[in-house]
Amino acid sequence: MIEFDRPDIEEFFRTYAITGFAVDESETHIALSTNLSGKYNIWGLNLPSTYPYPLSYVDQTPAYMKFDPQGRYLLAGFDRDGDENVQMYLLPVNGGALKPLRMHEGRRHYFTALSKDGDRVYYCSDKENHTFLNGYVYHVDTGEESTLYVGEGGSTHLAWVAPDESSFIVLTAYANTYAPAFLHRGDQVTCLTPDPDTVHVVADGDYAGDAFIFTTNYGEDRAYLAQHHLSTGEFRKLWGISDADLGGLAVHEESHTAYVIAHRGVEDRLYAFDMNSEEARPIDSPVSVIEDMKIGKSGTLYILGRSDVDPFNLYRRTPEGEWTKLTNNQVMGMARQQLVQAEVVHFPSFDGLRIEALWFAAHAETANGYTVVWPHGGPQASERRMFRPFFQYLCSRGYNVWAPNFRGSSGYGAAFMKMVEGDWGYGPRLDMVESIEWLIRQGRAHHHRLFLVGGSYGGYMTLLLHGRHADYFEACVDIFGPSNLFTFLNSVPDHWKPMMKQWLGDAEEDRERLTVDSPITYLSGMIKPMFVVQGANDPRVVKAESDQIVQALRDQGTEVDYLVFEDEGHGFMKKANEMAAYRRIVEFLDAHRK
């Protein structure tokens, strides 16, 4: 009998990511942002063929892509090695060298829309307004550019432009939970909701005739579908679900249908809303988590998604309701049934708050009795039933994975999400501690057989838990996490700064609390072995955050390994780096098992 070695990290991490896509007017060409070559580029599909071919060769991550309606070019944005300073380019629709379109060293260009003839590009940028951003329209043929608006008050993002270019809508972000939208029509500026001073968000939307259809939580805890009449200014709620936040939206005017993604904690649901009858019906989705959704003129729906045992793939749904898988990304050397599906569990936290979590049980034949505790990033995000090669690799190596959605996570309503604002280090930390105690009481995990691994806010939580609750863990891994909230506040990108007071706090007014919540305050409690990973170009959590905690740990004699990637930012964009980091992390965990 022929036997093969069990899959190693290469097999799990050679599943490729797709971070976005674009569909042309004829719906025969699709552009994908993917790392098929090991580094991100734009790849193409010429339907009905689904064999991918390269369109760019710059080895950088596309931030956005849009086909010219006349088929003359593909517009795309790229940063440089994760610095997030996205520059705007054109390239031939069949691929090739990039032609610079809008460039400004050290600044960002966020694409919004193309005119129907493809001659005008609408975008916003921090090039002239570093904190609040401005909106622009640029004429591709003549090179002329006009300023649409000057941002003020909060970080302003040009979000939507009317098909006839008679109006546009700007989101003003004061916080992740406070982002009203404003309709600009001639000299008039109107809030889409009745009162811009009421804390709420506008999540997504689209023009539909003389109305703008959008998702918002204005006046309610859960986000719902609403309408703003462009001529009269009338605001009206259309439809909602009591236990879900409506988010992503795509409108097909010809069939009077709005396709809506409903976020229910760890999973998504897809609905079709009839704009005539104002009734919604559920649609079966091939994935648990929908990352992106677009609608073609034909009424064909395209979604990018993944599930706990299914990597990123692109799917197409005909108007008749038939799904087709357009890409075939899968785990090498593993049948789908050999991968670990997440168990969704709930537990009461220290104050009785109901917390949802995901439990990935180790493969029975390799189980080593150890559990990796994973506080997710964000913090106003959530761990979901989506494929993570790291989780599947851990399970194959015998580790359980525990991922709680502590207070402040998204997908559980506005009130739940706001619980982390101004409280990074108390409530969420105690949710994590109680989650561990619950695991132990349930017999799923054991003291002295726990590891702690987290990235971004999860890296911050890893450091904080290590400093204040080290007895639970054998070793800890921090992946680009803030270590000092004062230096973090001072180093975030300029356009984040208007949101920081509500999100985290003020360095002077909240000095006592920020000191209590800073991991570096508890340096002396960090007595377990540490492994720290950082991208040198990270603009969100700068390298100095990791440098200072590593140096302080070394100075006090704590065992610490430090791995810096010179060509990465806030995350891994190069497959070789990603595999190197997670191989080192698992080797570190293996070395500290008793």
Could you read off the pLDDT of 157-166 as tens digits, one per residue?
999 999 999 9
pLDDT of residue 334 exceeding 90, the answer is no
**Confidence class for position 153, pLDDT limits 50, 70, 90:** very high
pLDDT of residue 203 exceeding 90, the answer is yes
Q: Please tell me the chain's helix, strand, coil percentages from 3-state DSSP, rounded to the nearest 5.
A: 20, 35, 45
Strands (E), 174-240: 181-185, 188-191, 202-208, 211-216, 224-229, 235-239
Residue 90, amino acid: L
**Confidence class for position 300, pLDDT limits 50, 70, 90:** very high
Tell me the two tokens of residue 468: 């204040």
Q: Is 467 helix (H, G, I), strand (E, B) or coil?
A: helix
Q: Are 307 and 36 in contact (CB under 8 A)?
A: no
How many CA atoms within 13 Å lie on the side-chain side of 432? 33
What pairs with residue 274 in β-bridges?
Answer: 257, 279
pLDDT at 332: 87
Report how far residue 491's alpha carbon sits from residue 486's, in angstroms, rounded to the nearest whole number: 9
**Confidence class for position 268, pLDDT limits 50, 70, 90:** very high
Cβ-count burial of 351 within 10 angstroms (0-12 exposed, 13-18 middle, 19+ buried)? exposed
Burial 236-256 (b: 16+ CB within 10 A, else e): eebbbbeebbbbbbbbbeeee
pLDDT more than 90, % of the chain: 95
Report how far residue 593's alpha carbon sits from residue 588's, in angstroms, rounded to the nearest whole number: 9
Give me the mean pLDDT over the 110-117 stretch.
98
Domain ranges for the chain: 352-591
Q: What is the distance of C-alpha 330 from the center of its chain?
A: 21
pLDDT at 66: 98
pLDDT at 18: 96
Tell me the two tokens of residue 342: 């997440």
For residue 586, give the nearest of 456, 368, 361, 399 by alpha carbon: 399
DSSP of 143-157 = --EEEEEE--SSEEE
Tens digits of per-residue pLDDT, 131-147?
999 999 999 999 999 99
Report how far residue 229's alpha carbon sits from residue 483's, in angstroms, rounded to the nearest whole number: 47
pTM (predicted TM-score): 0.95
Report how far residue 254's alpha carbon sits from residue 299's, in angstroms, rounded to the nearest whole number: 8
Dihedral sign from CA coordinates of 548, 553, 557, 559: negative
Burial 508-532 (b: 16+ CB within 10 A, else e): eebeebbeebbbbbbbebbbbbbbb
For residue 58, give the nearest of 96, 29, 92 by alpha carbon: 96
What pairs with residue 290 in β-bridges?
Answer: 305
Report how far residue 453's alpha carbon sits from residue 587's, in angstroms, rounded to the nearest whole number: 13
pLDDT of residue 322 exceeding 90, the answer is yes
Give me the mean pLDDT over the 84-92 stretch.
97
Q: What is the dihedral of CA 206, 379, 268, 412, to 10 degrees?
A: -100
In this structure, are strands 74-78 and 87-91 parallel, antiparallel, or unpaired?
A: antiparallel
Top-level class of domain 352-591: alpha beta
